[in-house]
Amino acid sequence: MFEPLSRDGLAKTAVFYTAHGKINTPNILPVINPNIRTLKISEMKRLGMEALITNSYIIRRTEKLREIAESSGLHGLIGFDGPIMTDSGTFQSHVYSEIEYDNISTFEFQKRIGSDIGTILDIFTEPNFTWNKAKEAVLETRRRLDEITDPGKTIVAGPIQGSIYSDLRSMSAELMSSGISGYLPVGGVVPLLENYRYDMLVDVIINSRLHSDPGKPLHLFGGGHPMFMGMSVLLGIDMFDSASYVKYARDDRILLSDGSRDLNRISLLPWWSPLYGKFTVKEIQDLPKEERTRNLALHNLGAIFNELNEIRERIHEQTLWQYVEGRSRSHPALYRAYRRILEYGEMLEPLEDLSKKSPFFFFDELSRNHPAVIRLRKFSDGMISSLKGKVKFLDQGDWHPGRQHSAEFMANYSRSDTAYFHRWHDIPVPVELEETFPVEQLVTTGVFEDNTEPDDPVDSGSPMDDALSGDMKDLYLEKARMIFRYQFGFNDGSAMFPDQCEVTHSRKTGRIRGVFLDGSLLGTVRAHDGFFTLSIKGAERLMNLTDRHRISVSEESAEFNRKGFNVFFKFILSADPGIVAGNEVLVTDHSGELLAVGRANVPGREMMSYRRGVAVRVRAGTDPSS
């Protein structure tokens, strides 16, 4: 039901399929009160609405609404032919201690009136709940999920609860993912949103996302303010709902991407507003209350969809991190939250793409905690530890990554058994990775200074001081080996690229073009990120070195993949959980025979979660006739 398209770390664009059509994510379900219609459905659709949410409890307890819903269906009642989600009345139950309907009858009513996504009657958890009280709510919510045995065409929404406790959010995410639910709302967060506790929300969302099934949309209940949407999507949220567009309008407030404003404190409308060119601010202020509310609601909903469009484009460009980091400086609460995200850098690193379409933005010392930088730092630190002192740091002024090297450096490098490093924003990086993401693919503020002294036994002297080794090193072969080590997680690259390899490179730029062995191409180095693209010969060599970096597919798919066709999720039998999105993948049949090589669209740990879409974009199959 959930098909991923593009991604940027935990964020993704995808298509979610329901009985009444598809929803492109990330997206928002505007809240519709069936008793009070502020905007026309046609107006909301023009702004970009693909789906909506309404409250089944209000419909059920209002006789007139219930009769129409039961006779004409939910979509007839609302007057909308697209996907509709229904809430269960959990919030009303929380506020009034109890309601007159139980969980089973509540879901059966949603099913009977034709809800596309129906929500169980979960237990709302407040931020001030004790751990024990929150745990009881988590377990009871799961018990209620198990009461739903025949949902029919209605997708079951099983809310993730757990208050502010990370361990309980993780537990709840696992429990709700393992049941009948096909949709995972994160509940109990409105008090945090209302009080700008975005740093606590980071804990809630990350632990919900990392422990839930990525093949089921993650929905942030009540999280539809543009201010926090980008950060939420960065953390893995796929869907939102909100009544804020109407609530703010009733209070004469307008939504903007970085917050909200009182109508009487603004002088101009933004150009993207549906009201721009139709009214001046003064004319809106002078409208009768009901008409003013309707027009402000139109603007506010436009603000939400305008922000969603920006977020989707950022995911496509793989610049959402930069966007969120920039936005985090617009409000102290967002900045605290962004700093909190970076505390999870180690946990997020395995889910970060191998590289990006766009350069890496290095703002300041906080950028050192970005998952892509953590990956690089871990690799370099591991190398330095294993080399036991045979390390030399080049002087900062003597090293110019991406440029051709002096004859002096090349001569000394070729004769030395020392490993050369340079400092890249205070991070030790092997010189051989000078053109590999994110080292060269970089835009920097230049405000972050290197104040760190190398630790013993590292020597930071001149390369001319090196002792000479008996063997001569080829910089280009060593580059190929180092890139391979970093890309595929090996301690040594010589098994993949032995001394007999020929490395071709550009005479103009010095960049590696390809690596050959006995006249056969093993791989080429991509210009945009400095990583390897493997040929079938290269894939065969990699396969002989490790049982990692591979997926196996069913017999039904094998022959197509052997001929060079893409791998679809539904045909995958197993996948290495360590596969990094964007990296090379070996495709095998059930017996382990190599079929093809290509690029992974999602991390290995997510490969088995989806049933629709392309898992691996195959570059070459083993069938010579393909």
Residues known to be catalytic: 87
Nearest in space to 516 (alpha carbons), one of 496, 531, 493, 490: 496
- Using DSSP bridges, classify how beta strands 520-525 and 512-517 pair: parallel, antiparallel or unpaired: antiparallel
For tokens 């490395």, the residue is 503
Query: Nearest Cα to 564, choosing from 505, 504, 501, 617?
Result: 617
Residues 6+ apart with CB under 8 A from 446: none
**CA dist list (Å): 302 to 145, 237, 269:** 35, 20, 12
DSSP track, 594-617: EEEEEEESS-GGGTTT-SSSEEEE
Going from the C-alpha of 605 to that of each of 16, 72, 391, the distances in angstroms are 20, 43, 35
**293 three-class SS:** helix
- Per DSSP, the chain holds a count of helices (H) and strands (E) of 21, 28
Give the number of other CB atoms < 10 A from CB of residue 17: 15
Say if strands 218-220 and 239-242 run parallel, antiparallel, or are unpaired.
Answer: parallel
Whole-number Å distance between alpha carbons of 29 and 85: 8
Read off the tokens for 603. 């991390």
Q: Are the CB atoms for 448 and 425 separated by under 8 Å?
A: yes
The residues facing 85 across adjacent strands are: 53, 117
DSSP strands (E only) in 365-467:
391-393, 419-424, 427-430, 442-444
